[in-house]
Amino acid sequence: MNETRVLISGDYWHDEFRAILASFPTPVTLMQVARLESISDQNFDLIVLAQARPDQIPAETVEKLQATHPTTPIVALLGSWCEGGMRSDVPWPGVRRIYWHQWSGRFDQFSKNLLDAGITIWHQPGTATDSDDTLANAINANEPITDTLIAISAADQNQFEYLRDTLEPHGWKSCWIERATFDTDTANHVSAICIDANSFTAELHSRIDWLDSILTRKPTTLLLNFPRTQDVEAASRRGIHEIVSKPFQPNDLKYAIEVSINRHHVASHDKQAAHSQHRMNADAASGS
């Protein structure tokens, strides 16, 4: 299978979903909700129902899709206005709820597992829980990046221990950066930084400055409560491109940290290659 066949319906035109649409590696089929009944004879690997606000798509429409596409995973892609729905609304049975800021990592994992094995955690029964997803992710997981030390920045020991225990099953070591003593040699052994925060505040900016002063240019993952678009943009300006929203599944954090480490390695390699090419060009120019 060379392309993942994805159908997206609902509020896919909404601002929060534009970057998601632009990031798809293969073309997707966009369809208005009113036309969904016309696809009963078409096959897809994934159906995405985008909702910028609650109750934009009738439950009856979802039930008909499930009846005509019983083996196709259907996921709800939710915007910020749906956040309260975690506690108040009635979810569509058998449909996974994924917020816009959780999408990138989870879809990447879905695509990889689909290509590798033809089945993913989104193919599990509709009654599957987060614990079931975590177990399935553990079975499908690749070997972790070895010799990995994660410097965790957390407000208290309980939160540090929770994050440490989340990462430990992957064979990673952790230290609580607020209580750790770093000399140059120890700092060089840190593979990545994980910052636990609630929102992007002045305090968080100060904490990032402090972390940069002792662990310069380390790949960083940031945990936030329901990040907004402006939070993602603010983090990007600080060089942080991996954001995990709380509450999260354990594999969300592992995946984000691995992506940050791999991106850092690629950027470092590209920088070294560019520097070497510049020197070669300079030597050639001086020789002529």
The 10s digit of each residue's pLDDT in 161-193 is: 999 999 988 889 999 999 988 888 888 899 999
156 occurs within a structural domain? yes
Helix, strand, coil percentages (3-state) for the chain, rounded to 5, are 50, 15, 35
Q: Are residues 11 and 134 in the same domain?
A: yes
Indicate the Cα dihedral angle 253, 258, 264, 270, nearest 10°. Answer: -140
- Of the candidates 27, 115, 20, 126, the residue with the CA atom closest to the CA atom of residue 74: 126
Phi, psi (rounded to 5 degrees) for 179: -110, 0
Domain boundary residue among 138, 173, 205?
Answer: 138
CATH number of the domain residue 12 falls in: 3.40.50
CATH number of the domain residue 259 falls in: 3.40.50.2300
pLDDT in tens, 46-104: 999 999 988 888 889 999 999 999 999 999 999 888 876 554 456 788 888 888 888 88
Q: Are residues 206 and 120 in the same domain?
A: no
pLDDT in tens, 233-259: 899 999 998 999 888 888 889 889 998
The amino acid sitting at 216 is T
Interhelix angle 250-287/157-167, rounded to 10 degrees, is 80
Distances (CA, A) of 179 to 2, 157, 160, 187: 48, 9, 10, 14
282 occurs within a structural domain? no
Q: What is the pLDDT of residue 40?
A: 86
Q: Are residues 39 and 156 in the same domain?
A: no
278 occurs within a structural domain? no
- Averaged pLDDT for residues 4-17: 91
Q: Are residues 21 and 82 in the same domain?
A: yes
Q: How many domains does the chain have?
A: 2
Q: Are residues 128 and 156 in the same domain?
A: no
Interhelix angle 250-287/130-140, rounded to 10 degrees, is 40
186 occurs within a structural domain? yes
The reply to whether the predicted model has a pTM over 0.75 is: no
Domain boundary residue among 138, 161, 184?
Answer: 138
Q: Are residues 41 and 81 in the same domain?
A: yes
Q: Residue 140: which pLDDT band, with cuts at 50, 70 and 90?
A: low
277 occurs within a structural domain? no
Domain hosting residue 188, numbered range: 149-269
